[in-house]
Chain A
Amino acid sequence: MKRVAVSTCIGLVASAVGFAAGPVGARQGARISAPPLYTSECGSCHVAYPARMLGGASWNAVLSGLGAHFGVDATVDGAELEAIRAFLESAARSRETSRDGKPLLRITETRWFRSEHGDRLWKRHPLSPADCGACHRKAEQGSYAERDIELPAPGEAKRGETR
């Protein structure tokens, strides 16, 4: 009976993800809207980061270490974890994000993130780089467009710490 329940659960989750992932054959790295499961499981402690920000190997490495996810327990149940993995693999950046052959785990360490943001930004605005919404005011809705950027006042209280 338990097995029936579990496979039903996998089916439900998979169909939910399949629906949200759009037409089969969508271009890798395309802006696929995130399924609710991804947003709820990976968007509680931080913004549900867009899948296109890391390559597939990086996402797989992140998902393999959720028991100690940057110092925090972020474990997800098995069936849901596999559904999230399927979504991230389908929507990941097509070019791998790695250094010295090892997949990067932090979006902030990728070359494009660093060139986009520069290092001086964090000195002027001592915020956690994980807190996208501090400046990208519509990050929770998935928009990182220039028109939605609003820097906080310099020296605004530090909201979080980088670990």
Chain B
Amino acid sequence: MRASLLLIAAALVLPASSARPETPADFAAAFAEEARANEPHFSGLDAARGRTFFVDLHGGEWSCASCHTQDPRAEGRHAVTGKRIAPLAPSANPERFTRADKVEKWFRRNCNDVLRRACTAQEKGDVLAFLSSLGS
């Protein structure tokens, strides 16, 4: 009886989906799943498309590379303040793409900075495919 109460309590506290992303591959899978749901003709994530997206100014002042550099394995510098930014590519910085709150926060802020809108799941997934394609 007590055990089943505990189980119910656990079910109430834990998030509905047990597969909480915590590796770059988990995030890629989640982005791909969301992109497929949004777009029936989804044909997978694409590192080359992600690279193009990463260096493009999208009609504005900044690209992702403005702060993270053309080679995201390198240390970046904030385009306004000059502050050092740790490498973005998981091969160079194992902390990247391991926490959902951080991934959500930085895509929210930076997509708004570069594109003045939210990124689609396809765009986020392509960028992650590009970052993950960079070896150490």
B: residues with CB less than 8 A from A are 12, 77-83, 85, 105, 108-110, 112-113
Contact = CB atoms under 8 A, between A and B. Distances in A.
A122 interface: no
A127 interface: yes
A146 to B, nearest CB: 22
A131 B108 contact: no
Contacts of B109: 72-75
Contacts of B79: 160-161
Contacts of B85: 44
Interface in A129-162: 130-131, 133-134, 158-162
Nearest to B112: A73
Interface of A: 1, 44-47, 70-75, 77, 127-128, 130-131, 133-134, 158-163
Contacts, number: 51
B30 to A, nearest CB: 20
A155 to B, nearest CB: 15
Contacts of B78: 45-46, 160
A131 B113 contact: no
A79 to B, nearest CB: 12
A1 B13 CA distance: 8
A73 B108 contact: yes
B82 A127 contact: yes
B82 A131 contact: yes
Contacts of B81: 45-46, 128, 130-131, 160
A45 B80 CA distance: 8
Residue of B79, B85, B108, B109 with most partner-chain A CB within 10 A: B109
A95 to B, nearest CB: 26
Contacts of A77: 105
A45 B108 contact: no
B32 to A, nearest CB: 25
